[in-house]
Amino acid sequence: MSYKKLVRDKIPEIIRAKGMEPVTRILDDKEYFKELVKKLREEVDEFSQDPSVEELADIKEVMIALREALGADAGELEDIRRTKADKNGRFKKRIYLESVQ
């Protein structure tokens, strides 16, 4: 069976434990970043189908990997998030913009 996708680090071990042999390769930085973006879309799609904390945790795991791939630490990301929240607000008021006239 062909998958052609980025998987979590322990997936090859899990496959071997089931008596099968995975065929894998290590991605270079450019491929890795591209596959992380694809994985984020995949996880968001899964969350759309099953809005659960478990699916949200998968999104967060990919976001952590993307942050690390961009060379940012958690504090830097949080600082940027806070700055943007201060400037533009958050999403707590549930405002839906219909149009601008």
Q: Give the Cα separation of 16 and 20 in Å (integer).
A: 5
Confidence (pTM): 0.90
Name the region of 19 (left: φ>0; alpha: ψ -120 to 50; beta: rest): left
Residue 2's pLDDT band (cuts 50, 70, 90): very high
The pLDDT value recorded for residue 5 is: 97
Average pLDDT over residues 27-36: 98
Tens-place pLDDT, residues 81-93: 999 999 999 999 9
Tens-place pLDDT, residues 42-80: 999 999 999 999 999 999 999 999 999 999 999 999 999
- Domains of the chain by residue range: 26-87
The pLDDT value recorded for residue 41 is: 98
Q: Give the Cα separation of 90 and 52 in Å (integer).
A: 21
Question: Distance between alpha carbon 80 and the CA centroid of its chain, in Å?
Answer: 18
Q: 38 with 32: CB under 8 angstroms?
A: no
Q: Give the Cα separation of 25 and 43 in Å (integer).
A: 22
Q: How many residues does the chain have?
A: 101
